[in-house]
Amino acid sequence: MSKIRILPDALASQVAAGEVVERPAALVRELVENSLDAGARHVEVHAQRGGCAMIRIVDDGSGMDREDAMLCLERHATSKIRTKEDLGAITTFGFRGEALPSIASVSRFRLATRERDSLVGTEVEVNGGKLVAVRDHGGAPGTVIEARSLFFNVPARRKFLRTEPTEFAHVEQQLRLHAIANPHVAFTLTHNGELVLHLPATRDMLERIRGLAGEELASRLLKVEEQTIHGITISGYIGGPGMSRSNRQMQTTYLNGRPIESSSISYGLREGYHTALMKGQYPITFLFIQMDPHAFDVNVHPAKKEVRFHDGNAVREAISRAISRTLENANKLPTGHAPAKPALVLRPSPETTPAARQEQFSMPVERASAPLRQAAPQQPSIQPVPHVPAPAPQVEKTSAEPPAPPIQSSEKTARPAEKTEAPDFRIIGVLQKLYVLMESAEGLVLMDQHAAHERVNFEKIRRALESGGVPCQRLLMPITLQTTPRDADLLRQNLAALGRLGIEIDSFGPNTFKVEAVPAFLKTDDPAAWLDDVIEELRSLSAKSSSLRLSEDAIATTACRASVKSNDALSIPELQALLKDLFTCEMPYCCPHGRPTLVQISTAELERKFGRRAPG
């Protein structure tokens, strides 16, 4: 006897429902998409008990006539595509004709709908896939869809539902995704009868983001000016350097209005943020991508969350360029009233012991205390205030560079593009040999000296790399390195990259290496200790990656970090030079690891702290 059977329709729908509607948030996704496809201007979402007890969506879209109201519950019934060709260029959210029958098969389902110019509408009731009633409906034009007791007839799936708060959090997140992409549509969300979100329609995308993410975050976003690269149009808002999250929740990207995830897009974002993003952190983005619907396939994921691009590289590159341009154009100093208030956490660097700290406070009297006295309140505008001049138009060399004979002549070093003018900061003093306190027109600015140094060195290296290699200084006495076999492998895999970075290193036996030269930017009396630091960092980097061969950028950031580890207290002119160098950088506001280099506490913020101004 044959074993294969065609499944009855109701069962087939339940099977399909397993893929399409995995939780209440998925209902919200499908139903809101339908409302948007129907041209709704107002969409209400009501949830009870996380959406498990009930989800109701009310819209003022086109509505359906009786025939369609019955048909839409059949599997593969859709008004959105007709031919195979349509499937190649989908412009609506829906196209499979699967959602409504799937939802109706796993819930107590009610659909009430009326077309704008029909006198009477239709109400259909379905119970776990079985049609229970069809009657006239006298409600407002548009569509109401209600799904109660989700999975009441599929206990195996009900078990996978999480707690009400968790399910509701997903519902809310789902609605937020749609709300951001459709500011012209008003949205309302209630939970157990209480209003959770109320978003009036607006023409201004930023206004909508403000309504969802709050004034504070919205005010710190950078606008991505609409630009078309490789035929891909990109626009939206993104977080600036140093603004990030430890999860992807705020990394929202849309393709032709559909919220999607895609590895090409994620790579593009990461590449675009480059060193403006701390490792393990995710950017904050509200990014809109528009492209020819023939150039990708949305029909690859049951929840239509992922797409397949025909040319993923073009997408990656377009995004990366749009992001890096936006970041480079941004000229905003991180302010002290960021939610995490990093400005006020003046921690000593971890390597400073209490004893060492005491020393720092008492020792560099000639350096730090003189300018500190200048800032004393009774003498507000005293004498030689060290102002930092704007950088000369071409900055080729800085005083910090040792006069060692470079391999490459430094003339070859590419000149940085037109950069931000160095602001007129007055240096007040240095806290804990690390934080440089400065006065600006807006208030207090703190510079993390190490982070700034890392950024400066990193960009010097990168510019040098782009023009052939990093200048190096030959050591009088070559250094011999004895390594473990694993470190030896690591070094051998990266010899070429290290060479380009100015570290002239050669294999000299199975686990032995000879170092003849180190980068010219390095200012140290103990290059061997520096090399140890570099190797240690490379080792921990490689432990996290699957291959021993590391990217040139990774090695460069490593070399920079090690180069500033043992920085001494700097004199005021040295600090001025550093600040000036920092502002010739492409990305002055964060170090290559994404930490801020400068933080500002505005006068207004200080006034609030001292009770001179009402908290705003």
CA 290/CA 281 separation, integer angstroms: 26
Between 146 and 167, CB nearer to ligand ADP: 146
Q: Kindly report the CA angle at 148 between 146 and 150, in degrees rounded to 5?
A: 120
**Alpha-carbon span 430 to 567, nearest angstrom:** 13
Closest separation in Å from C-beta 81 to ligand ADP: 8
Smallest gap, in angstroms, from Cβ of residue 32 to ligand ADP?
A: 9
Residue 471 near which of ligand ADP, Mg ion, none (CB within 5-8 Å, type-dependent): none
Tokens of 419: 């950069």
| 59 binds, options Mg ion, ligand ADP, none, Cβ within 5 to 8 A by partner type | ligand ADP
Q: Pull the structure tokens for residue 142.
A: 């548009």
**Backbone φ, ψ for residue 513 (5° rounding):** -135, 150
Rank residues 35 and 326 by Cβ distance to ligand ADP and give the closer one. Answer: 35
**Is residue 291 a contact partner of residue 257, using CB atoms and an 8 Å limit?**
no
Q: Which residue is nearest to ligand ADP (CB)?
A: 94
The least distance separating ligand ADP from the CB of residue 143, rounded to whole angstroms, comes to 4
- Taking the least distance from each CB to ligand ADP, the nearer of 61 and 469 is 61
Tokens representing 151 are 């999975």
| 3-class SS of residue 489 | helix
What 8-state DSSP symbol labels residue 451?
A: H
Contact 589, 240 (CB under 8 A): yes
CB of 146 to ligand ADP, least distance (A): 12
Which residue, 103 or 221, has its beta carbon nearer to Mg ion?
103
60 binds, among Mg ion, ligand ADP, none (CB under 5 to 8 A by kind): none
Q: At 484, phi and psi to the nearest 5?
A: -75, 160
Nearer to ligand ADP, 62 or 153 (CB): 62
Taking the C-alpha atoms of residue 487 and residue 540, their distance in angstroms, rounded to an integer, is: 11
Residue sitting closest to Mg ion (CB): 94
Q: How far is the CB of 31 from Mg ion (least distance, A)?
A: 8
Bridge partner residues of 187 (DSSP): 43, 199
Residue 523: how many CB atoms within 10 A of its CB? 17
Tokens at 517, concatenated: 């030269």
Q: Which is nearer to Mg ion, 27 or 368 (CB)?
A: 27
**Smallest distance, ligand ADP to C-beta of residue 140, A:** 13
Residue 321 binds which entry of Mg ion, ligand ADP, none, with Cβ cut-offs from 5 to 8 Å by kind? none
Enumerate residues 6+ apart whose C-beta is below 8 A from 176: 197, 212
Closest approach of Mg ion to the CB of residue 181, in Å: 16
Nearer to ligand ADP, 192 or 299 (CB): 299
Q: How far apart are the first and last CA of the chain?
A: 78
Which is nearer to ligand ADP, 103 or 562 (by Cβ)? 103
Smallest separation, CB 181 to ligand ADP (Å): 17
Residues that bind Mg ion (CB under 5 A): 34, 94, 99
The residue ranges of DSSP E strands in 209-291, in sequence order, are 221-229, 232-239, 244-245, 251-255, 258-259, 282-283, 285-290
Q: Which residues bind ligand ADP (CB under 6 A)?
A: 30, 34-35, 38, 59, 61-64, 72, 77-80, 94-100, 143
Q: Which does 44 bind (CB under 5 to 8 A by kind): Mg ion, ligand ADP, none?
A: none
Rounded distance between C-alpha atoms, residue 116 and residue 60, angstroms: 9
CA dihedral 88→93→97→103, nearest 10 degrees, is 150
Name the binder of 312 from ligand ADP, Mg ion, none, CB < 5-8 A by kind.
Answer: none
Dihedral, CA atoms, 578, 580, 585, 589, nearest 10 degrees?
80
User: Using CB distances below 5 to 8 A depending on partner kind, what does residue 98 bind out of Mg ion, ligand ADP, none?
Assistant: ligand ADP
| Least gap, CB of 61 to ligand ADP (angstroms) | 4
Nearer to ligand ADP, 177 or 327 (CB): 177
Q: Of these partners, Mg ion, ligand ADP, none, which one is at the site of residue 79 (CB under 5 to 8 Å by kind)?
A: ligand ADP
